Chain A
Amino acid sequence: MIQRAVILGGGTAGTLTANRLQRETGGQAAITVVDRDDDHWYQPGLLFVPFGRARPGKLVRSRARQLRPGIGYHHHSPVDHVDVGQRRVHLDDGSSLPYEVLVIATGAALLSGETDGLAEAMAQGKAFSFYEPAGAVALRDALAAFDGGRIAINIVDMPIKCPVAPIEFAFLADWYFRRRGIRDRVELTLVTPLDGAFTRPIASRHLGGLLEAKRIGLVTEFNTGEVDGDGRRLVSFDGREVGFDLAVVVPVHGGQPYVSRSPGLGDALGFVPADERTLQSKASPDIFVIGDAADLRASKAGSVAHFEGEVLVRNIRSFLAGKPLAGSYDGHANCFIESGFGKALLIDFNYDIEPLAGRFPGRVGLPLLQESRLNHLGKLAFQQFYWHVLLPGRDVPGLAAAMPRAGKEFPAAADARTLFSG
């Protein structure tokens, strides 16, 4: 019997899963991808739009055309809910799709309504989000008209997609205003709920040092309760304030609304809990989760979806064959961090090993946690790599699921822990 695999979401994670699954099963599984439109955005490119370094029209392609022939694509109706017990996806138009295995790959939604005043401040043109195309374009125009004052770059809450993007935005803004010759008239401040620039100590110290060197302010442990457009200030839940003339806000993230309409599927925020090694959902053994939609302690990033994809497809094949799940994801993530002036840093880490200095993927590779022109070229090249290698779900030499240890400079304590945990 042909087994039916339904994949919800035709973004990075859903597309690479569908293509890999189709190739590895040789067409033996009937694969259907469901999304609500046909616009596949290259999301890392949105960071460059506000600075005039990327044009939105160049960042979007057809979702359907990124899928291998033979994969069904359904984008005429959004998902209403998943009936976990009956193994059926119900669509808005009343039709439904039965499945033997379901993959949740619907990413994260931006929930500006979660923060008092944010929607109003955005409508007033005082706050902007570059995480979606229209916001990135509006911010480009606002920056072009900005000739001095305070810019607050605010992460409202974690988790967010690409946790380094707000730091990159700050670095690029510093460069942008320097080039315009008005940097001394612009006050840049990164306002974060974290206790440092990043979540892990070594990278946090390193990035914190770079912020300081670029004279970008850092306000930590700031849990934004309100964005007050009229008063031009961010107000935290514990009553602290940060003033601004222009706010760049990364809104609260949650899962897609259909997750919350599907009993038993998601958590309080609409993310889908899963085993962090096998990626099998906690809701049901026939549901797997990949990418930003998952409630995992891995970063929400395209590289994570790429590394997860290899493990996920192996496990789906085991599941469909009635065998124990063999694949194990180690939390591997890999991110370029643009630092302006044609340079970038690279970080590579997993659940257990924080981003360290060294080289990637081995001793003669790209420099880690260090600004270099090579990394910037890597970030630029990544866009072609994304469409032609990552989305097709190919194995890439040097970019396997398991995080490479060679080339990394382990501090003494971490080294000992690595040895003991094998």
Chain B
Amino acid sequence: MSTKVYAGTAVTVDDDGFFADPQQWHEEMAPQIARESGVDSLTPQHWQVVTFMRHEYAEKGTGPSVRALSKTSGVSIKELYQLFPKGPAKLAAKIAGIPKPRGCI
């Protein structure tokens, strides 16, 4: 765990840069996290996915996999990779200020 400052506020993140506490996240922080992850600007489509990630986390306690994200949001996996090139599930979770998706066992 370490501390990072986004939009002037200190937040706690894990070793991979994911928020430890989603409550610490504000929308103003997202563009800066996105830039750090190689996403230069957040389009309305990015925001649609980011909002959806937070909604899924609130419902289920973990971010969805790429495939579940695609099925539920209606955005194809290919498009998701265009939006978040280094891996939609992880990147969108990071930008949305939720912990790293648990994945499967």
A residues with a Cβ closer than 8 A to B are 114, 157-159, 163, 194, 199-200, 221, 223, 225, 237-238, 252, 267-269, 273, 297-299, 333
CB of B42 closer than 8 Å to a CB of A: no
**Which residues of chain A have C-beta atoms less than 8 A from B81's C-beta?**
225, 237-238
Q: Are A268 and B71 in touch, CB under 8 angstroms? A: yes
The smallest beta-carbon distance between A194 and chain B, in angstroms, is: 8
Among B68, B85, B103, the residue within 8 A (CB) of A269 is B68
Residues of A within 8 A of B77 (CB): 223, 225, 237
On chain B, the residues within 8 Å of A157 by CB distance are 65-67
CB distance B78 to A225 under 8 Å? yes
Q: 4 closest Cβ contacts across the A-B interface?
A: A268-B71, A159-B104, A158-B104, A237-B81
Contact A238–B68 (Cβ < 8 Å): no
Q: For chain B residues 80-100, which have a beta carbon within 8 Å of chain A?
A: 80-81, 85-87
Contact pick for B104, options A114, A225, A252, A297, CB 8 Å: A297
B38-91 CB contacts (< 8 Å) to partner A: 60, 64-68, 71-72, 77-78, 80-81, 85-87
Selected contact of A268 from candidates B68, B78, B103, CB within 8 Å = B68
* A-B contact list, 6 entries, CB within 8 Å: A163-B104, A238-B86, A238-B87, A268-B72, A269-B67, A299-B105
Contacts of A221 in B (CB 8 A): 87
CB-CB < 8 A to A199: which residues of B? 103-105
Among B72, B77, B87, B105, find the residue whose CB has the most chain A CB atoms closer than 10 A: B105
Do the beta carbons of B87 and A223 come within 8 Å of each other?
Answer: yes
Closest B residue by C-beta to A349: B105
Contact A237 B78 (CB under 8 A): yes
Looking at the complex, which one of B64, B66, B71 makes contact with A223 (CB distance below 8 Å)? Answer: B66
Alpha-carbon separation in the docked complex, A157 to B70 (Å): 13
Residues of B within 8 A of A297 (CB): 102, 104-105
Known contacts being A237-B78, A238-B85, is A158 close to B103, with CB within 8 Å? yes
Tell whether A267 pairs with B103 under 8 Å between CB atoms, given A223-B87, A237-B81. no
- Contact between B67 and A252, CB atoms less than 8 A apart: yes
What residues make up the interface of B, taking CB atoms closer than 8 Å to A? Answer: 60, 64-68, 71-72, 77-78, 80-81, 85-87, 102-105
Identity of the chain B residue whose Cβ is nearest the Cβ of A269 in the assembled complex:
B68
Contacts of A158 in B (CB 8 A): 65, 103-104
A114 to B78 alpha-carbon distance, docked (Å):
13
> Are A298 and B105 closer than 8 Å at their CB atoms?
yes
Q: A194 — nearest CB in chain B belongs to which residue? A: B103
Q: Are B105 and A163 neighbours in the complex by a CB distance under 8 Å?
A: yes
Residues of chain A lying within 8 A (CB to CB) of residue B72: 268
Chain B residues within an 8 Å CB radius of A159: 104-105
Question: Which chain B residue has the least Cβ–Cβ distance from A199?
Answer: B105
Question: Cα distance A297–B80 when bound, in Å?
Answer: 24
Residues of B within 8 A of A299 (CB): 105
Contacts of B65 in A (CB 8 A): 157-158
What's the Cα separation between A159 and B78 when bound, in Å? 20
The closest CB in chain A to the CB of B73 belongs to A268
Residue of A nearest to B70 (CB): A268
What residue in chain A is nearest B64 (Cβ atoms)? A268
Q: Smallest distance from the beta carbon of B63 to chain A beta carbons, Å?
A: 13
Q: Assuming A199-B103, A238-B86, A268-B68, what are 15 further A-B pairs, CB within 8 angstroms?
A: A157-B67, A158-B103, A158-B104, A159-B105, A163-B105, A194-B103, A200-B105, A223-B66, A225-B81, A237-B77, A238-B85, A268-B64, A268-B72, A273-B60, A297-B104
Instruction: Give the distance to chain B from A396, nearest Cβ to Cβ, in Å.
Output: 23
Alpha-carbon distance A199/B67, docked complex (angstroms): 18
- Alpha-carbon distance between A157 and B104 when the two chains are bound, in angstroms: 10
Residues in A neighbouring B105, C-beta threshold 8 A: 159, 163, 199-200, 297-299, 333
A237 to B72, CA, bound (A): 18
CA–CA, A194 to B104, complex, Å? 9
Distance, CA A317 to CA B68, complexed state (A): 34
Q: Which residues of A contact B80 (CB under 8 A)?
A: 237
Chain A residue numbers with a CB within 8 Å of B102 are 297
CA distance A207 to B67 in the complex (A): 27
A288-B105 Cα distance, complex, nearest whole Å: 21
Q: Which residue of B lies closest to A298 (CB)?
A: B105
Find chain B residues with CB under 8 A from A238 CB.
81, 85-87
Of all chain A residues, the one with the shortest Cβ separation from B81 is A237
CA distance A158 to B67 in the complex (A): 9
For A252, the chain B residues whose CB sits under 8 A away are: 67
Q: Which residues of B contact A237 (CB under 8 A)?
A: 66, 77-78, 80-81
Complex alpha-carbon distance, A225 and B87, angstroms: 13
Contacts A158-B103, A199-B103 given; indicate if A269 touches B78 (C-beta within 8 A). no
Shortest distance from the beta carbon of B2 to any chain A beta carbon, whole Å: 18
Q: Which residue of B lies closest to A156 (CB)?
A: B67
